[in-house]
Chain A
Amino acid sequence: MSTKQVLIFVEQEDGCARPVAFELLGAGRMLANKLGAELAAFVACDSVGELPETLVAHGADRVYVAEHPELATYRTLPYRRVLIDLIAAMDTPPHIVLFGSTTTGRDLAPRIAAYFETGLTADCTELDIGPYEHTNAQDPSKVGLYPDCLYAIRPSFGESLKARILGPWKNPQMATVRSGVMVPLAPDATRTGVVQSVPVHLESADLQLVVAETLRSLGEQVELQGAEVIVSGGYGLGNPEGFALMYQLAACFENSAVGSSRKAVDAGWIAHAHQVGQTGKTVRPKLYIACGISGAIQHRVGMDKSATIVAINKDSNAPIFKFAHHGIVGDLHQVIPELIRQLKLQKTSTPDTSHVATHSL
């Protein structure tokens, strides 16, 4: 294989790719096009079914498939082995390898990078290709012009800065990519690609760790990433009971979920699964209603791609009003019940455009 390649790692469960895989395909397709490279996807599983066709439809040119009963559930060492074997067997290593910044991607990618002694940038929010000229004479072996360098861009210093991390000296250039940030391509069933089975040689040392049990959806299920409307509460709610109000407001919407800021989670008012932001989830709903959230940068990076942001806060100087689209300055304990009341009124009355026109004057 001498074609230049961008390779993505596909997370799968029971033969279904997890959403981040499609996001990586979207990002990988863009990079491959810029590089004039092939976009390849790697799947490890016990039985791949129709997954390769799905991956091709979403942008892959080639799908490497490692099938083995021991690969049914993700485990570090067997997955590490097959992926290392695949890359090591190539005439030229992939130019770029991408993983999701998930519990799986963050578990596996560092081991692969350490094995190949190559760079790995964590939790990227933007990727691009560009030239880079290294002039730092402290390390003369690295000086030179690198035309096809991966620009791995990630937030740093508590998300107040965006850092561009480069490592063009050695391929593969690797990155993990924050989930919910890259945009998947619409599937195209007419796309064609190559499906290539790869050999699996596992050693007994690879199988020392066993998975006894996997439980999904422990307790309450929080589907922040698929929700069209997110009602999010912060420390300004004042107490854990404030979240009852968040649920009441969320109930006014189709396909909604309740989010929170880190401070409310740290205060123990709501489970971490609800947290939006740097150490929580990245979301991009159609409507984000931020209640009693000041708008710290750590929160902002998780939600500022929302189509419409409405903020409710007592403090008209709260940073959230710098990036919200609409803001009500007021006590959320009064504003939200009124908002709920009016939303309920709206739904009982038939759409009345004259009503809208009157008030928008």
Chain B
Amino acid sequence: MTNRATATIHGWLLLLPAMACLALFTHWPAIASFVDSFMSTPRARRPARFVGLDNYQQMAADPIFWKAMANNLWFAMGTIPTSIALALLMAVWVNDRIAGRTLVRMAYFTPTILPMIAVANIWLFFFTPQYGLLEQIVGAFGGRSTNWLGSQDTALYAVTVVAIWKEAGFFMIFYLAALQAIPPSLGEAAAIEGASRWTFFRRVQFPLLMPTTLFVLINAVINAFRMIDHIFVMTRGGPDNATTLLLFYIYQVGFGFWDTAYAAALTCVLLLLLALVAFVQYGWLERRTHYQ
């Protein structure tokens, strides 16, 4: 055997454990879900049988699915740009030499390390009508009492705010790391040229952060579609499905109704959606993010 062949075999052997895990926990479930989505749900006395596109037809006629889809798009539009912008702002701020820098960084990062269920419980009381924190603040300014989580008009916004609060601190860490990787000589050069702070950010820092922004964007999109835990604690998808997101609905169909076939079909749609987004991001955006 040649050296080259041995090296190849070694390489594959080193990859094997990771590949096995990936296949077992990612590829196999995805394929199984795809196959199951064309079958009926197996019941104790009625085994699964092939039903073709029945599950997908059911989905097209299912108003709750469309509601969940629309909710999820609003949720994504609400969380992604806001949390990224906030993260960038916070990172630029705590990158500077300000007093109590470590403390501020820690404060911003805290939401990320708290368990989501605990966070949701805290926010549940923030949103409580009449004596919750938000009510106290709004009331102090003479505003009217609002049932934030219990009204169709505000419930989705309320859960969106919690997600932004949680995400921004996490993304800040990536931006902070990227900002610190920018050579200080660039800043010095800009200072000698007399560039304003804004110009320096716009012409130097921001373009250099583009690869980070892409990375953060991908994470933000994935997070927007896999958000589920705080929905459980805060609204359980209510009122009348106003906060039902796609993954929550999949859980409900799969483990609440035990309609596993329909849940598999829903999962395929979610996968397809994410694949599409990934395709746009890797195939198109990535090529445009490299700075000249």
A and B physically associate: no
Interface residues of B (CB under 8 A from A): none
Interface residues of A (CB under 8 A from B): none
